[in-house]
Amino acid sequence: MPLLHFVQSIDGYVTNEGIEVIAQKLELATAEVTAVSTFYTQYKSKPVGEYHVGICTNTLCAVMGGDAIFESIKEHLDIENDGVTADGKVSVEHIECNAACDYAPVVMANWEFYDNQTVESAKALVDGARAGNPPAPTRGPSRLVTYKEASAVLAGLDDGLAREGVQVGEPTLLGLKLSKEGKQ
Amino acid sequence: MMIKLLSQHVKRRGAAATALPSQLVMVQKRMFHPSQQMSQQFNVYIDGKPIKVDASYTIYQACTEAGVEIPRFCYHERLSVAGNCRMCLVEVEGSPKPIASCATNVRPDLKVITKSEKTRIARGGVMEFLLANHPLDCPICDQGGECDLQDISVVYGYTEGRMMEYKRAVEDKNIGPLIKTSMTRCIHCTRCVRFTEQIAGEFTLGQVGRGKTNEISTYIENMVTNELSGNVVDLCPVGALNNLPYSFTARPWELKSNYTVDVMDSLGSNIDVHTRGSDTMRILPRINDEVNEEWISDKSRHAFDGLRKQRLHIPLLRQPDGSFKELTLQEALSTAAEKLSSVKGDEIQGIIGQFNDVESILAFKDLLNRLNCENIDVRTNAPKYSADFRSQYLMNSRITGIDETDLLILVGCNPRNESPVLNARIRKAVGVNGLKVAVLGSAPNLPYNYTHLGNTPQTLKDLADGTHPFSAELAKAELPMILLSGTALERTDGQAILNLVYKLGETTNVINKKEKWNGINILHSEASRVGALDLGIVPKQSTKTKAKVVYLLGADNFRHEEIPEDAFVIYQGHTGDEGAYYADLIIPGASYLEKQALFVNTDGRPQQTRSAQAPPSPTTAWMRCALASLSWHPIWQSLTSLRAVALRNLR
């Protein structure tokens, strides 16, 4: 699986050549590698933008404004779900939970969090991304890396950015705090 | 029950040389093969009835043992458990949710309820999901009438669907000339994926995507190339994978089932020939755990269409100008009799082809012997083994020996080509029993790992002398088995190879007297060989005199130099193949699907074929009677008496 990420870090998505190389290296059948790469949504079988934006439309985010963000971004960029802008800079995907419900509505770009988004802030994110200078993620590193760079990190090639910025925020720890207080 | 089955299994070893006529009729029953050593047995209660089962059983197996049928799509007795169709849900006392019986082990005093309202509703719910995307095209689907999904939805399905959404459509895949795909019908049971991986040993099929985009696919459209691929059609519980040559030709309720035996290789796979009227429409495997389990090769499945083409259906006599003149059967027999009696006995040569039954061979042998001809041969390149004892030419540890052996040495043998179903059994043993395989000879492409020992008879000599690096491993093996290809013995040094194999057998555990194990096995390539050897047909030293009359009994792959140019050639067979081109006189015959006859397979098991389709003309039905009247012997007047003599000769 790191190898599939590695293929993405070079080709931008999981290419057939990549699958063949992995199958050869690991002595697997191409059908088996394809089965894995098509099962997980982080592996893309078609090219994505340099900045891949995922908008959560699961229950909590949707209620908090995720649906509105998703619709407006699609309209703003004039693309459909899983579409890529003509310049190849930004692609949009609706996500089933970004695992950050405490910051809903959440948008992610190249797997970095943009918390408590609004329609305007999300538009600013995609516009910045198209212009080549996306705003920094709310948590984590101080700058947003490209999709290929992010894939390289997932493949195990540490870029040293992982420990930057806020790791665990106040809302995430709130439940723990309350439960500890309750115990006392 | 299991213990009883296993003890029979163990007793059978050593009884290889005796195959009783009572074995001609096999009961179709699958045996469960427990994945671990049977350790503990306890009671479980299926619908209130107690039954003692082994600890390794799943609830599904326990229910089957108790005679309770549970609907299922993904579960198959010979494949791994997937547990993804959820059709086999049962209620288990103490569990709030219904449980997938195929994927859950039994535990002591488990109380299973299979017929409650709760299970019915649970299964109905599963059925709704399965049908949510399944097209309603049963009237144009080849599986219609023999479809698990149809049958089970009659019991558990609801009359009306609640799905308002569009059904999804999936693009069909082109996976070769034998399998037709209608992927929209697929319910993702993954039986085909598991079959190609676990039985055939090829990783061509996979499950691609997830959720509603999930489909069965090859990586970029690819052909399924293994020689057992037709079996995925039988495994498919719906109409997603169909038999392509058979498609749109017949409906299952029009077909008549004929239980018979395959002759495409020497394994003698049990088959079910489906006919409509006098036409064979398709061939399916029959279950026989001791021969073919429940698989057949693609060759066995699809070879019958050759019987529709180029059939010999009238007796023909070649004229001086090379053309053929049609004869009546009486004229043809008189011509044959005249030619055969006009020459001396040692001027006649008989060659027996690969698809001949025991009765034909016996009548043929008797006819030629009466004419003082001893020059009868069933083999093309005359391997050097003798037919004095059955153990000299049989698969002595039997086909089931592969399940028991711990080391298999293939000598000059590529089981993948010579007997694909046997190869599947070897692969199963490699996976389940940890069987080690070593290959001596050219390195074939096999679907399991093997050690390649060497390429020359010298390697065999080293092994027999104990000087080969592999000898240490061989010495450790308790019940090693040698599978020697019959074709390896056709080499000029065939006799030396056979002697070396015998020597190897005596110096190692291959012949393990304590365990009554004879691990020397010959895998024949032709269905008629063992039957002929049983009748004592061994090649005599070639006669000094040149043959003037050559009688080919369905023989097509003889060596050209075996037939003198000026000889009168009689060809008796069913298809205008190589032999018919040499023939001066052609007497039409019946194929294996058109006669009731005995065949003996490579492990010495006599099996009877049954006539499934009619021969193309009435004349051909009289093939054996033709032989009978030629041999002027009263016992050949009836087939029954001929068969009785043949059976006595089978030893």
The ipTM value here is 0.73
Q: Are A38 and B219 inside 8 Å of each other by CB? A: no
What tens digit of pLDDT does each residue of B445-478 get? 899 999 999 888 899 889 888 888 999 899 889 8
Please give, rounded to a whole number of angstroms, the shortest distance from the CA of B202 to a CA of chain A.
8
Please tell me the predicted confidence (pLDDT) of residue B380: 57
Question: Which of B202, B208, B213 lies nearest to residue A34, judging by beta carbons?
Answer: B208
Reduced 3-state DSSP string for B586-627: EEECCCCCCCCCEEECCCCCEEECCCCCCCCCHHHHHHHHHH
As a whole number of angstroms, the distance between CA B591 and CA B306 comes to 11
Please give, rounded to a whole number of angstroms, the shortest distance from the CA of B165 to a CA of chain A.
19
Of B396, B549, B562, the closest CA to residue B481 belongs to B396
Question: Which of A16, A19, A39 lies nearest to residue B210, judging by beta carbons?
Answer: A39
Please give, rounded to a whole number of angstroms, the shortest distance from the CA of B548 to a CA of chain A.
58
Question: Which of B207, B213, B222 lies nearest to residue A35, judging by beta carbons?
Answer: B207
Tokens of B316: 């023909």
Determine whether the annotation assigns residue A30 to a binding site.
Answer: no
Question: Which helix (H) or strand (E) is B569 found in, with range?
Answer: strand B568-573
Please tell me the predicted confidence (pLDDT) of residue B149: 94
Domain ranges of chain B: 39-132, 139-148+164-308, 316-380+529-649, 394-523
Please give, rounded to a whole number of angstroms, the shortest distance from the CA of A122 to a CA of chain B.
29
Q: What is the DSSP letter of A122?
A: H
DSSP assignment of B487-521 equals GGGGSTTHHHHHHHHHHHHHHSTTEETTTTEE-EE
B462 backbone dihedrals φ, ψ, rounded to 5° = -60, -40
Reduced 3-state DSSP string for B18-71: CCCHHHHCCCCCCCCCCCCCCCCEEEEEECCEEEEEECCCEHHHHHHHCCCCCC
What tens digit of pLDDT does each residue of B569-593 get? 999 888 888 888 889 999 888 888 8
Minimal Cα distance from A16: which residue of B?
B220
Q: What is the CATH number of domain B39-132?
A: 3.10.20.740
Give the list of residues 6+ apart from residue A71 with CB closer than 8 angstroms, or none: none
Q: Are A35 and B218 inside 8 Å of each other by CB? A: no
Residue B414 in contact with partner chain A when CB distance is under 8 A: no
Report whether A37 contacts A45 (CB < 8 A): yes
Q: Are B219 and A34 inside 8 Å of each other by CB? A: yes
Q: Which residues of chain A make contact with B215, given a CB cutoff of 8 A?
A: none
Minimal Cα distance from A29: which residue of B?
B203
B439 backbone dihedrals φ, ψ, rounded to 5° = -120, 135
Is the pLDDT at B36 greater than 80? The verdict is: no
Question: How many CA atoms does the CB half-sphere of B309 hold within 13 Å?
Answer: 5
Report whether B96 contacts B48 (CB < 8 A): no
What tens digit of pLDDT does each residue of A67-86 get? 999 999 999 988 888 888 88
Question: Which helix (H) or strand (E) is B571 found in, with range?
Answer: strand B568-573
Most confident segment among B16-20, B320-324, B637-641: B320-324
Q: Which residues of chain B make contact with A42, given a CB cutoff of 8 A?
A: none
Q: Which residues of chain B make contact with A38, given a CB cutoff of 8 A?
A: 208-210, 213
Determine whether the annotation assigns residue A129 to a binding site.
Answer: no
Q: What is the CATH number of domain B316-380+529-649?
A: 3.40.50.740
Report whether B17 contacts B394 (CB < 8 A): yes
The lowest-confidence range among B26-40, B106-120, B207-221 is B26-40
Q: Are B218 and A31 inside 8 Å of each other by CB? A: yes
What tens digit of pLDDT does each residue of B383-417 get? 666 777 888 888 998 999 999 999 999 999 999 99
Residue A133 in contact with partner chain B when CB distance is under 8 A: no
Please give, rounded to a whole number of angstroms, the shortest distance from the CA of B589 to a CA of chain A.
47
Of B295, B531, B527, the closest CA to residue B420 belongs to B295
Q: Which residues of chain B make contact with A28, given a CB cutoff of 8 A?
A: 203
Question: Which helix (H) or strand (E) is A71 found in, with range?
Answer: helix A67-77
> If you compute the radius of gyration of chain A from its CA atoms, what whole number of angstroms results?
18
Tokens of B620: 């051909």
Q: Which residues of chain B make contact with A16, given a CB cutoff of 8 A?
A: 220
Report whether B439 contacts B449 (CB < 8 A): no
Is the pLDDT at B624 greater than 60? The verdict is: no
As a whole number of angstroms, the distance between CA B362 and CA B383 comes to 21
What tens digit of pLDDT does each residue of B235-261 get? 999 999 999 999 999 999 999 999 999
**Whole-number mean pLDDT of chain A?**
86
Please tell me the predicted confidence (pLDDT) of residue B566: 87
Minimal Cα distance from B215: which residue of A?
A35
Question: Which helix (H) or strand (E) is A149 found in, with range?
Answer: helix A147-154
Beta strands in B244-330 (DSSP E): 256-261, 270-276, 279-285, 316-318, 324-326
Report whether B637 contacts B332 (CB < 8 A): no
Residue B177 in contact with partner chain A when CB distance is under 8 A: no
Please tell me the predicted confidence (pLDDT) of residue B25: 40
Q: A155: how many CB neighbours lie within 10 A of its CB?
A: 17
Tokens of A16: 């057939």
Beta bridge partners of B568: B549
Determine whether the annotation assigns residue A175 to a binding site.
Answer: no
Q: Residue A74, SS3?
A: helix
Please tell me the predicted confidence (pLDDT) of residue B140: 93
What tens digit of pLDDT does each residue of B280-315 get? 999 999 999 999 989 999 999 999 998 888 888 888
Q: Are A38 and B203 inside 8 Å of each other by CB? A: no
Instruction: Sort B278 into a burial class: Cβ within 10 Å, 0-12 / 13-18 / 19+.
Output: exposed
As a whole number of angstroms, the distance between CA A105 and CA A69 comes to 9
Is the pLDDT at B612 greater than 50? The verdict is: yes
Q: Which residues of chain A make contact with B204, given a CB cutoff of 8 A?
A: 29, 31
Report whether B381 contacts B458 (CB < 8 A): no
Question: Which of A16, A29, A33 lies nearest to residue B204, judging by beta carbons?
Answer: A29
Please tell me the predicted confidence (pLDDT) of residue B363: 82
Q: Are B203 and A29 inside 8 Å of each other by CB? A: yes
Residue B553: pLDDT band with limits 50, 70, 90: confident
Please give, rounded to a whole number of angstroms, the shortest distance from the CA of A42 to a CA of chain B.
12
Question: Which of A16, A28, A35 lies nearest to residue B208, judging by beta carbons?
Answer: A35
Please give, rounded to a whole number of angstroms, the shortest distance from the CA of A14 to a CA of chain B.
13
Q: Are B206 and A32 inside 8 Å of each other by CB? A: yes
Is the pLDDT at B13 greater than 50? The verdict is: no
A window 7-46, beta carbon within 8 A of B = 16, 19, 28-35, 38-39
Work out how many CB contacts closer than 8 A connect A with B.
35
Please give, rounded to a whole number of angstroms, the shortest distance from the CA of B470 to a CA of chain A.
26
Residue A155 in contact with partner chain B when CB distance is under 8 A: no
Q: Are A16 and B220 inside 8 Å of each other by CB? A: yes
Is the pLDDT at B505 greater than 80? The verdict is: yes
Q: Are B210 and A38 inside 8 Å of each other by CB? A: yes
Report whether B491 contacts B420 (CB < 8 A): no
**Whole-number mean pLDDT of chain B?**
84
Residue B206 in contact with partner chain A when CB distance is under 8 A: yes
Instruction: Sort A38 into a burial class: Cβ within 10 Å, 0-12 / 13-18 / 19+.
Output: buried
Question: Residues of CATH 3.40.30.10 domain(s) within chain A?
Answer: 51-145
The lowest-confidence range among A173-182, B10-19, B37-46 is B10-19
Tokens of B143: 């599986």
Give the list of residues 6+ apart from residue A99 with CB closer than 8 angstroms, or none: none
**For the residues A92-112, what does the mean pLDDT come to?**
87
- Specify the CATH number for A51-145; select among 2.60.120.10, 3.40.190.10, 3.40.30.10, 2.115.10.20: 3.40.30.10
Report whether A52 contacts A109 (CB < 8 A): yes
Beta bridge partners of A40: none
Determine whether the annotation assigns residue A27 to a binding site.
Answer: no
> If you compute the radius of gyration of chain B from its CA atoms, what whole number of angstroms results?
27
> β-strand B111-113 against B324-326: which pairing, if any?
unpaired
Report whether B112 contacts B210 (CB < 8 A): no
Question: Which of A16, A32, A39 lies nearest to residue B203, judging by beta carbons?
Answer: A32
Residue A82 in contact with partner chain B when CB distance is under 8 A: no
Residue B131: pLDDT band with limits 50, 70, 90: very high
Please give, rounded to a whole number of angstroms, the shortest distance from the CA of B173 to a CA of chain A.
14
Q: Which residues of chain B make contact with A31, given a CB cutoff of 8 A?
A: 203-206, 208, 217-219, 222
Q: Which fold has domain B394-523?
A: Dimethylsulfoxide Reductase; domain 2 (3.40.228)
**CA angle at B247 for the pair B245 and B251, rounded to the nearest 5°:** 125
Residue appearing with tokens 């079996």 = B231
Residue bearing the bigger pLDDT, B268 or B10: B268
Residue bearing the bigger pLDDT, B488 or B561: B488
Residue B23: pLDDT band with limits 50, 70, 90: very low
Question: Which of B205, B209, B218 lies nearest to residue A38, judging by beta carbons?
Answer: B209
Is the pLDDT at B11 greater than 50? The verdict is: no
Minimal Cα distance from A45: which residue of B?
B209
Q: Which residues of chain A make contact with B207, given a CB cutoff of 8 A?
A: 35
Residue B558: pLDDT band with limits 50, 70, 90: confident
Please tell me the predicted confidence (pLDDT) of residue B6: 36
Please tell me the predicted confidence (pLDDT) of residue B32: 54
DSSP assignment of B229-245 equals TTHHHHH-SSSSEEETT
Q: Are A31 and B219 inside 8 Å of each other by CB? A: yes
The lowest-confidence range among A57-71, B426-440, B617-631 is B617-631
Beta strands in B165-245 (DSSP E): 179-181, 205-208, 215-218, 241-243
Tokens of A10: 């070079």
